[in-house]
Structure 1
Amino acid sequence: MRNASTKISLFILIGIILVACNTLKRVPKSKRLLTKNEIVVNDKKVNTENITSLIYQKPNTSIGGIHLRLYLYNWAKLNHDSIYKSKFIKDPEKYKHQSKWLSAKQVNRLGNSFWYAGIHEFLRTTGEPPSILDKKSTEKSRLRLKSHYFNNGYFNVKTSYEIDSSRIRKAKIKYNVITGKPYMIDSVRTTIQSPALDSLYKTQQANSFIKSGKQYQIADFDNEKNRITTHFRNNGAFYFQPTYVNYAIDTLNGNYKTNVNLKIDNYSFSEGDSTKTQPFNLYKISEVNIYTDYNSKDTSDVAEKKTTFSNFNLFSKGKLKYKPKAITNAVFITKGSYFSDLRTNLSTRYLTNLKVFNYPTIRYKLDPNDSLSRSIIADIYLTQREKFSFGYGIDFTHSNIQDFGISGSLSFGIRNIFNGAETFEIATRGNIGSSKDLANPNNQFFNVSDYGVDMKLNFPRIFMFFNTDKIIPKSMIPSTALTLGFSKQKNIGLDKENFTGAMTYNFTLNRTTTFRFDLFNIQYVKNINPDNYFNVYQSSFLALNNLAIKYNANPGYFEDGELTIPSGVKSFLNDIDQNTIIPSTEDSKTLRSIVERAGRLTENNLIFATNFSVSKSTKKDLYDENFHVFRSKIESAGNFLSLLANLSKQTGTQGVNKTIFEVAYSQYIKGELEYVKHWDFKRKKVLAFRSFAGLAVPYGNSVSVPFSRSYFAGGSNDNRAWQSYSLGPGRSSAVNDFNEANFKIAASAEFRFNFFGKFNGALFVDSGNIWNVFDNIEDEKSVFKGLKSLQDTAVGSGFGLRYDLSFFVFRIDFGFKTYNPSDTSNKKWFRDYNFPNSVLNIGINYPF
């Protein structure tokens, strides 16, 4: 009852505060506060973003009808400086009294302190001034609406507005639009004066945006202008610009039809004091000059050595520092080809991707040796980056296992290490952190630590024993990366040593699609402290300890009522194996599960995998919030090692795995699909959606998937109503400390919006779970048995707060268990939907 009273009192208090906020506080008495815009088109209300965004003046922003930013602005004292000074003018003795304790200068400075000035400056800049009705802006909005519909073929459109001022000092605006009948395109013809361009236009005339029978839309004319310009400039029209494309529109024939004449005049240029015109020519590249160590500060008399390779001229100051092919492979501008913006951009992109030069400069000039003036010379200027680089960094981190961490890194890089534009980097890293989920007998705050070293050698081409140019042309900007790594973790459960190595090929199909192929990806995980297993996995230990007590195990196995680790545990399990203790059938099943899981998580893993992944993203830049991303990945592990084992005449017997270097290797196949979609509703409102499905199937030498390749559910980047590893498998009630499985389905939706300034909010719904399938787990609660198992999909929902620091977003989410499949009661929905049972997630950047 007390909690209910507290909540009611809190809501009443909040209500009083909000009601007390006067939205008209900063509105002059002779003005009116704009509270609503309404747009009516042909007697129908329109709320689509592309129309409402045309209005210049909008009402103050609100969240759930509450004008929070306006309230913040109204709370601010705009003349705080004069208020501070006036209190001393009214009471000079007060000034003298404070000056005894502080100097006069310090007393004066108090007026600029946070409590007197800073808090009001914060409220003013964070808040939003009242949107006061402005008739000039209203008229501009009316004209803008008229222009919009006119540009979409409604040439007889009529617009007007009405101002509703029935409420005191408040106003609403209603915009009325009568579009009339739209005009359609009737005939389309072209008048292109330059024969070369006329012929070039006809090669792609079928792709025109302007076609007979379509409604007149200005966007089609702009798109057609851009299409023509791109087509011409990619096929030799060096001097062509969009301004040469013009349209003559004839609407005089009536019947709401227009005739279009697309006109492209000849090239005009200045010569002396006069302007001349001539037909456009299509220019070919007569020479390609590459200046490999260009410096803008150099004088023209700097001696340069010329090297000719495959129709390219490479200039260097002294001996050329690069293998010619390494540079010319990155240049798509070739002798004898037509001038092309596309080739220019590809060259710029590839040369930048080499990471040994700064952003290149490419210039074109007429070839003075061509009397017909139809050839141009391409000059490419490359400025070398420093051969050696050194970097360092420190970060504060948060992950699914580590609640808080401090990490540091040092890196050293060498560019052009083999004179083929290769880059080499070696980096060391270290981390200390804190985790509440791990065994921590000494109750140390920093109970997590790891360190490691990584090496990477990158080749700006496909590194293969045969030529791959016909399969993966250089236009795909291919690269090869060789990586080696070692890391050691201490005080993280079992402690681990991790050795990794990979050979990775990366290439792009186009601007939106990238590919990655790992010819091999090797990982060897060695558990240094396997005897610590039952200290870490407490749920397994408690189950085992209860069984030992139930069957009256030897008292010498215990200390303070618990099995000693590891000696007591091993002795008890040995008694089970020797039939000294004979448990029931059900308890035998439980013991087998505990022993199997302990054996799987303490065994060393050798993974030799090959994988291929595709990523397709329509995101244009960092600020694009209307895009989709599709990712897929297929991975196969163990087949090569299986071949080696067979060649070594290893037969393998029941319950005994084949080994390489005395380590049982993992064998599985794994597939993943992920889809992310963002919808931009403008004004910092975004709906984000993510779906994921992944399956890893063990076979051959394995009956389960390695822990590092399995799936988990819960956490700040997954289902936020559950902590990491605490959801699933299935409806099994997360009986283990770190629950994982080999099949996962997940989907999330999040609506993001802005509160004020850099403060943002989010409402989200997360769903999904993990299951076991095609492996050695037999618990029916954990196993996926077809579509009926989807009823075990967990649902979490909640809200979040974000603060945008530009270089990253700090995120806090509160997740509530909305549907809990492991709940044994009849109320799986909203049973724990309250703050005491919520999960607080702290993360960096958005979850997806």
Structure 2
Amino acid sequence: MKNNSTKIIAFLLIAILICACNAVKRVPDGKYLLVKNNILVNGKSTNDENATNQMYQKPNGTLLGYKLRLNLYNLANLNPDSTYQAKFKKHPGLYERQAKLLSAKQVDRLGQSFLYKGIHEFLKNTGEPPVIIDTSKTKKTLTRLKYYYFNSGYFNVSTDYTIDSVAKKKAQVNYNITTGPAYILDTIKSKIMTPALDSLFKNNNEPSFIKSGNQYKTADFEEEKNRITTYFRNNGAYFFQPTYVTFDIDTIGKKNKADVTLVINNNNIQERDSSRTEPFKLYKISDVNIYTDYSPANAKSKVNDSVTYNNFNLYSYKKLKYKPRAITDAIFINKGSTYSDTRTTLSSRYLNNLKIFNYPSIQYEVDKRDPTAESLIANVYLTPRKKYSFGATLDFTHSNIQDFGIGASISETIRNVFNRAETLEISARANIGSSKDMANPNNTFFNVSEYGLDLKLNFPRILLPFGTEKIIPKRMIPSTSISAGFSKQTNIGLDKENFTGGFSYNWSPKRHNTVKFDLLNAQYVRNLNPNNYFNVYTSSYRELNNIGKAYNENESYFDNPEDRNLRIPDGTTGFTNDVLSNKTALQPGSSEYKDVESIEERRVRLTENDFILATSYTFTKTTKKDLADNNFYQFKTKLESAGTLLSAISTIGSLPKNSNGNYEIFNLEYAEYAKAEFDYIKHWDFGKEKVLAVRSFFGIAVPFGNSNYVPFSRSYYSGGSNDNRAWQPYSLGPGSTNAVDDFNEANMKIALSAEYRFKIFGDVKGAIFADAGNIWNVLDNVIDNKAKFNNLNDLDEIALGSGFGLRYDLSFFVIRLDLGFKTYNPAHDKGDRWFKEYNFGHSVLNFGINYPF
């Protein structure tokens, strides 16, 4: 209690010290601290973000309305060295006395210490100096605003500003904008000097950004300029550039209207000291030359090997190491085709996707053999990567199972394995970690371990016995992957071996759309230590043990007569079998009997070996342009079917069923289920590094046929740093069961999250979030009604967590801390679910890498 009191008092003192800071402490006399920019358009205040972005000066930043960084800066001593020296001038003889005690060198070094100088440097660098109104910058802002509204069609805009004092040394700047009426586009005409371009323009069916009746906007004219340029360059106009597109705007004799004339002049050709003009030419490709082993060192060397394949000319300075089709399939530029920027870009993307060349380059030259000079030669320069490359990594990880982990991996990549641009990746990995959620009788820190070996062979084409060009054309950059893997892990006490294998197809229907079709995805999970189940799932053991103390009649199942605890595993197994075979006083239908039945059902499900043979289809669409884009959406859906193929083969082959009425493969009942997932993410960028991000997820896996439950590895859980952050991983749900098991999972999940992100100072960001969701069992063998989703009324079991977090941006990744509070807990009785655990004692602190969505 004493320590807590000390912390509280220290916190209050710091808070009082910061709040007591004078915001205008460092504002000189006669100057003003900028507290607000007020943009008044025709007498009314506006919150137009684009207009706000024209400001040369903006008020000091705030955190929840408080100017934290300004006050931190005001706390700093801007001249700590002078202050330190002044102390000795004020007290003669002090320096000599301290020098005798410490030495002169140490006294001088003390002035550079954190106490005297470092803390002030920290406050100064972390803080923010006061933004003092500078009239020269105000006038520049006014000019910017005038251009901004002029470019929005207000040709008669007028501007001025006033500075209003709002307190001592504090003022706001009012920018007064009088727009006048907006100009509307009237008639739109074109004047194109090159007949070939004029014909193209008239045949273009793409919608124009400039339309009669629209308000004039400069941005629309820039978009139209780019649209026309892209269209022309994709239809043969190799030398055409955006600078050739101009617009004449005529407002003479018009009232708030403007006539527009699109003007495209002929090609301007520079020749030494003179220039001339001529009509633009539309070029066709006369030859495609591919240099398969180009480098600056051999650029002037003689080509020693060449081949012509499907009108492509392949050259090599050494022996040609590639099957021609492996390269030509990646080239979209064909002999006889019209020049196109899009074809060039697609070729570059495909060649990069092969991952066997460094920075492929495509260059064009006018074919001098053509007397009309309307032909281009395409030269494709490819610099091969090394055939063999070795890699090694060392990672520090945090996951839903591991609180802390250290992982290492080594990999070998072999390129052009079969001379058709294939890539083989071989990797080995090992991991050790710590988890507090495990059965850990020896209390060792590193109690999680895993090692594994993976192989992946990638083909830059669809591997099928028939052609797929009409269904999946090569512009979609198709590929085929064959993978296999093995891992052995000790992570939840049961110790598992995991064998995987896959055969999948990948392609991109559009620029930001991807499709993955897993034709076959096999997984075999073998539990090595199933007898350790009740040492791991201690909640299940405690519940069974309490029932055993009351109803067990076989004393050999207890560890000793005094404690009467069921021995693991023979005592727990024996008592369970006695209950389910009606050898105890427990009667079928009683609550304790159902509890034992439920515990045994879960034990069997989590300790049985699993074999899964699945087929799945995954589609992803995103509008995210790059890593800095914070105004986008992403949609992902996955449909999966497991066991259906095996059941079909078993039925057709009239194979026998086992005693449970199920088919087996390798003496093991295989899993059969259908699964569907839908994931939607949306980000809104409000500027000034303020972002609202939302995510919604729905997933369901329904067992049927050969199964009455979904394997643990394919089920859902809730809670954790990337889910509902007010609960630990696996500790929420199912339904309203109050997470009675140690690792709670189910076969249906709903998750909804919203997070508002904002800048605090520097690279430190903040967030306020709310997470909702839960998991349920549906159409499986779970008995507990509280864990089931029976109807829409069960939606009131959706849990709600809320909280706040801090993020530190290291540019290449983000370190994240989130503190979640249980806001609505469906595990409590109805009417007693809101805010009952909304305190620090029941909060959950999550550590994560990068944003949760």
1:521 counterpart residue number = 521
- Counting only pairs closer than 5 Å after superposition, residues 316-355 of structure 1 correspond to structure 2 as 316-355=316-355
C-alpha distance in 1 between matches for 2:422 and 2:409: 22
Report the secondary structure of 1:350's partner residue: helix
Once the two structures are overlaid, the 10-residue window that deviates more, 108-117 or 782-791, is 108-117
**Could you tell me which amino acid in structure 1 is paired with residue 641 of structure 2?**
S
2:644/2:672 contact within 8 Å kept = yes
Aligned-residue offset at 1:3: 12
Q: Deviations over 1:411-449 (max 9, x none)?
A: 111111111111111111111111111111111111111
2:273 counterpart residue number = 273
The alignment status of 1:562 with 2:565, answered yes or no, reads: yes
C-alpha distance in 2 between matches for 1:425 and 1:92: 74
1:599 to 601, 604, 613: 604
2:594/2:783 contact within 8 Å kept = no
1:741 counterpart residue number = 746
User: 1:269–1:92: structure 2 CA closer, same or farther, 3 Å change rule?
Assistant: farther
**Could you tell me which amino acid in structure 1 is paired with residue 281 of structure 2?**
N
1:588 counterpart residue number = 593
User: 1:461–1:112: structure 2 CA closer, same or farther, 3 Å change rule?
Assistant: farther
1:719 counterpart residue number = 724
The alignment status of 1:411 with 2:414, answered yes or no, reads: no
1:682 to 687, 699, 708: 687
- Counting only pairs closer than 5 Å after superposition, residues 488-507 of structure 1 correspond to structure 2 as 488-490=488-490, 492-507=492-507
Once the two structures are overlaid, the 10-residue window that deviates more, 50-59 or 675-684, is 50-59
2:673 counterpart residue number = 668
Aligned residues: 848
Percent identity, aligned pairs only?
58
- Counting only pairs closer than 5 Å after superposition, residues 753-764 of structure 1 correspond to structure 2 as 753-764=758-769
**Could you tell me which amino acid in structure 1 is paired with residue 711 of structure 2?**
P
Q: Deviations over 1:167-192 (max 9, x none)?
A: 22111111122222111111011110
**TM-score, normalised with respect to structure 1:** 0.97
1:575 to 574, 578, 589: 578
The alignment status of 1:252 with 2:252, answered yes or no, reads: yes
2:538 counterpart residue number = 538
2:715 counterpart residue number = 710
Aligned-residue offset at 1:646: 2.7
2:142 counterpart residue number = 142
C-alpha distance in 2 between matches for 1:302 and 1:109: 67
**TM-score, normalised with respect to structure 2:** 0.96
Aligned-residue offset at 1:205: 5.6
2:156 counterpart residue number = 156
1:627/1:679 contact within 8 Å kept = yes
Q: Deviations over 1:563-583 (max 9, x none)?
A: 111121122223324533131
C-alpha distance in 2 between matches for 1:472 and 1:149: 48
The alignment status of 1:440 with 2:445, answered yes or no, reads: no
Q: Deviations over 1:66-109 (max 9, x none)?
A: 11111222222222233344445566855556656777556545
1:771 counterpart residue number = 776
1:458 counterpart residue number = 458
C-alpha distance in 1 between matches for 2:105 and 2:265: 72
1:645/1:660 contact within 8 Å kept = no
Q: Deviations over 1:210-267 (max 9, x none)?
A: 1111111111111100000000111111111100001111101222111111000000
C-alpha distance in 2 between matches for 1:425 and 1:688: 36
C-alpha distance in 2 between matches for 1:794 and 1:152: 47
1:733/1:822 contact within 8 Å kept = yes
**Could you tell me which amino acid in structure 2 is paired with residue 251 of structure 1?**
T
C-alpha distance in 2 between matches for 1:102 and 1:467: 86
User: 1:510–1:112: structure 2 CA closer, same or farther, 3 Å change rule?
Assistant: farther
1:248/1:262 contact within 8 Å kept = yes
Report the secondary structure of 2:510's partner residue: coil
Q: Deviations over 1:108-140 (max 9, x none)?
A: 455444444443333222221111101111112
**Could you tell me which amino acid in structure 1 is paired with residue 192 of structure 2?**
I
Report the secondary structure of 1:34's partner residue: strand
Report the secondary structure of 1:629's partner residue: strand
User: 1:816–1:3: structure 2 CA closer, same or farther, 3 Å change rule?
Assistant: farther
C-alpha distance in 1 between matches for 2:166 and 2:642: 74
2:420 counterpart residue number = 420
1:183 counterpart residue number = 183
Q: Deviations over 1:579-628 (max 9, x none)?
A: 33131322221111111111111000000000001100100001111100
C-alpha distance in 1 between matches for 2:3 and 2:114: 36
Q: Deviations over 1:531-566 (max 9, x none)?
A: 001111111111111111011433332224321111
Report the secondary structure of 1:565's partner residue: coil
Q: Deviations over 1:683-702 (max 9, x none)?
A: 11111000000010100000
1:540/1:594 contact within 8 Å kept = yes
Instruction: Give 5+ residue unaligned stretches, structure 1.
Output: none
C-alpha distance in 2 between matches for 1:838 and 1:439: 24
Q: Deviations over 1:283-329 (max 9, x none)?
A: 11111111111111335134442221111111112210111111111
User: 1:433–1:254: structure 2 CA closer, same or farther, 3 Å change rule?
Assistant: same
Q: Deviations over 1:768-818 (max 9, x none)?
A: 111111111232211112221111110000001111112211111110000
C-alpha distance in 2 between matches for 1:119 and 1:479: 57
2:844 counterpart residue number = 839
Report the secondary structure of 2:357's partner residue: coil
Aligned-residue offset at 1:376: 1.1
- Counting only pairs closer than 5 Å after superposition, residues 234-313 of structure 1 correspond to structure 2 as 234-298=234-298, 300-313=300-313
Report the secondary structure of 1:831's partner residue: strand
User: 1:328–1:536: structure 2 CA closer, same or farther, 3 Å change rule?
Assistant: same
1:157/1:178 contact within 8 Å kept = yes
C-alpha distance in 1 between matches for 2:496 and 2:454: 16
1:732/1:822 contact within 8 Å kept = yes
C-alpha distance in 2 between matches for 1:332 and 1:592: 63
**Could you tell me which amino acid in structure 2 is paired with residue 256 of structure 1?**
N
C-alpha distance in 1 between matches for 2:822 and 2:495: 33
C-alpha distance in 1 between matches for 2:726 and 2:501: 36
1:447/1:492 contact within 8 Å kept = no
Report the secondary structure of 2:787's partner residue: coil
- Counting only pairs closer than 5 Å after superposition, residues 1-20 of structure 1 correspond to structure 2 as 13=13, 15-20=15-20
**Could you tell me which amino acid in structure 2 is paired with residue 290 of structure 1?**
I
Once the two structures are overlaid, the 10-residue window that deviates more, 800-809 or 261-270, is 800-809
C-alpha distance in 1 between matches for 2:166 and 2:472: 70
Aligned-residue offset at 1:147: 1.3
Aligned-residue offset at 1:479: 0.9
C-alpha distance in 2 between matches for 1:789 and 1:577: 30
Once the two structures are overlaid, the 10-residue window that deviates more, 642-651 or 437-446, is 642-651
Report the secondary structure of 1:562's partner residue: coil
Q: Deviations over 1:753-782 (max 9, x none)?
A: 111111111100000111111111232211
C-alpha distance in 2 between matches for 1:345 and 1:102: 70
C-alpha distance in 1 between matches for 2:312 and 2:261: 44
1:282/1:374 contact within 8 Å kept = yes
2:616 to 607, 611, 621: 611
Aligned-residue offset at 1:847: 0.8
User: 1:111–1:357: structure 2 CA closer, same or farther, 3 Å change rule?
Assistant: farther
**Could you tell me which amino acid in structure 2 is paired with residue 721 of structure 1?**
A
1:622 counterpart residue number = 627
Aligned-residue offset at 1:827: 2.2
C-alpha distance in 2 between matches for 1:641 and 1:582: 43
**Could you tell me which amino acid in structure 2 is paired with residue 751 of structure 1?**
Y
User: 1:459–1:181: structure 2 CA closer, same or farther, 3 Å change rule?
Assistant: same
C-alpha distance in 2 between matches for 1:756 and 1:507: 42
C-alpha distance in 1 between matches for 2:59 and 2:126: 17
1:795 counterpart residue number = 800
Report the secondary structure of 1:777's partner residue: coil
C-alpha distance in 1 between matches for 2:100 and 2:324: 79
Aligned-residue offset at 1:206: 5.4
Report the secondary structure of 2:47's partner residue: coil
C-alpha distance in 1 between matches for 2:752 and 2:209: 38
C-alpha distance in 2 between matches for 1:654 and 1:812: 52
